[in-house]
Amino acid sequence: IGGYARVVGAVRDLQERYKELNPVYLNAGDNFQGTFWYTLLRWNVTSYFMNLLPADAVTLGNHEFDHGIDGVVPFLEALKSPVVVANIDDSEEPKMQGKYQKSVVIERGGRKIGIIGVIHHLTNTLSMTEKLKFLDEIAIINAEAARLKANGVTIVVVLSHCGITIDRKIAAGCDEVDLVVGGHSHTFLYNGSTSGLPDVAEDSYPVVVERAGGRKGLVVQASCFTKFIGRITLYFDDAGTLVEWEGNPVYLDESVPKDEQIMRELIPWREEVDVLANRHVGSSRVILSKAECRTGECNFGNFVADAFVDYYTSRAESSDEWTYVSIGITNDGGMRTSLKSGSLTYDDLVTAVPYENTVDTFDLKGQYLLEALEYSASRFNTADVLQISGIRVVYNTTRPAGQRVVTADVRCRVCKVPRYEPLDPNATYRVAVAA
């Protein structure tokens, strides 16, 4: 299912089918990462194929900054679509200045539509954003929407890479906004039965947020990884008030044709990619599953955290140590898909763990290690649940926050034979993490 050729095929079909209804094509960010294509070819392959069917507006996601400012600026310069992000302060990053705008105004059916872009205000904690500052979304949107309205815009759309929780707050707290087109949280919204679909719907499509005075704000998201594209049709009266809507995500299964132009254009790029992508790197007797990693210990998380420790076992500094580091820590966010059982290629590995992080070590006092475990216990069912090697921990999630670690035993480092000992808040432990 999915794939960019199907995305383009479906979008072109919808543009033709709804041409009398003034279609608008939007992209909510995170166009970087996820496949071997990006790992090998970076922004140039991404912008090249996006430019074959330019969106009417694009916002940036946190992954666009995974290779720093120098990794995103060439992408911004190459992209034919207007890039909109209103809540970035780039005063200390001159390379970013002038490469994007707060909003764009397009015309459809004689009406001006303002599209405001926003990115999560904590993006600096999620990626390599250097000296960029990220501002509160709602205050920025309200200011920009007021400016657009004063300049004759009658319809306001927010293109958001903030996640469904903030998208709902935007719809509730920004009275001039008619629609929030969201990303980041990979939320699947859908109407009707999801039987036969790969995702379970969190809510209806769109989410309807009631505001004081009777006006409504709508929120849409369409999952992730090109499994779906979102489609919504909005109807406005002569005064520019939203009065009706209908829509649902389109499932990009094998019945959706791949766009022929995209398939032709892929051929020369694919030759370069396949040489490395198809290289055999190993095998697994079991599926290394990501599915359970947000709700507890998972075998894929164990595999990655164990690999961190394994990398350092040959670097022990004395004969009294069996390893240089005995604890490895990762989380669900670093693993994007499961790894199948059987023979594995470089492409399989990079698709499952796409980030080119280094594995770094540091010494950490036991009390802070305990705090990290407590934090993990408080983040059940999120990407922040820790996957660990070298710690045996029992949680009781019914206890109050800060008291959920029942027992924690740590694998020794300065010992010839590994064994587990109770975590000592005053001791110092060496930890390996992806950085």
List per-block mean pLDDT (blocks of 10 residues) for the chain, which spans 435 residues: 92 97 97 83 90 98 95 97 99 98 97 98 94 98 98 98 98 97 97 96 97 91 96 95 97 97 93 88 95 91 96 93 97 89 93 86 97 93 92 94 95 96 97 92
Return the CATH superfamily for domain 280-434.
5'-Nucleotidase, C-terminal domain (3.90.780.10)
pLDDT value of residue 97? 98
Helix ranges (H only) for 313-403 are: 346-352, 366-378
pLDDT value of residue 141? 99
Task: Check: CB of residue 66 under 8 Å from CB of residue 30.
Answer: no
pLDDT value of residue 91? 98
Map out the domains of the chain as residue ranges. Answer: 4-269, 280-434
Question: In angstroms, rounded to a whole number, what is the distance separating the alpha carbons of residues 241 and 189?
Answer: 24
DSSP bridge pairs for 283: 343
pLDDT value of residue 84? 99
Question: In angstroms, rounded to a whole number, what is the distance separating the alpha carbons of residues 138 and 142?
Answer: 6
Helix (H) or strand (E) holding 210: strand 207-210
Task: Check: CB of residue 75 under 8 Å from CB of residue 29.
Answer: no
Nearest to 12 by CA among 256, 266, 269: 256
Residue with tokens 């030759």: 271
pLDDT value of residue 88? 99
pLDDT value of residue 356? 78
Question: In angstroms, rounded to a whole number, what is the distance separating the alpha carbons of residues 162 and 199?
Answer: 20
pLDDT value of residue 121? 98
Question: In angstroms, rounded to a whole number, what is the distance separating the alpha carbons of residues 156 and 112?
Answer: 9
Q: What angle do CA 11, 59, 266 make, to 5 degrees?
A: 45
Pick the CATH number of 4-269 from 3.40.50.300, 3.60.20.10, 3.60.21.10, 3.40.50.920: 3.60.21.10
Q: Is the dihedral of CA 171, 174, 179, 185 positive or negative?
A: negative
pLDDT value of residue 272? 83
pLDDT value of residue 314? 93
Nearest to 170 by CA among 134, 245, 133, 220: 220
Task: Check: CB of residue 136 under 8 Å from CB of residue 75.
Answer: no
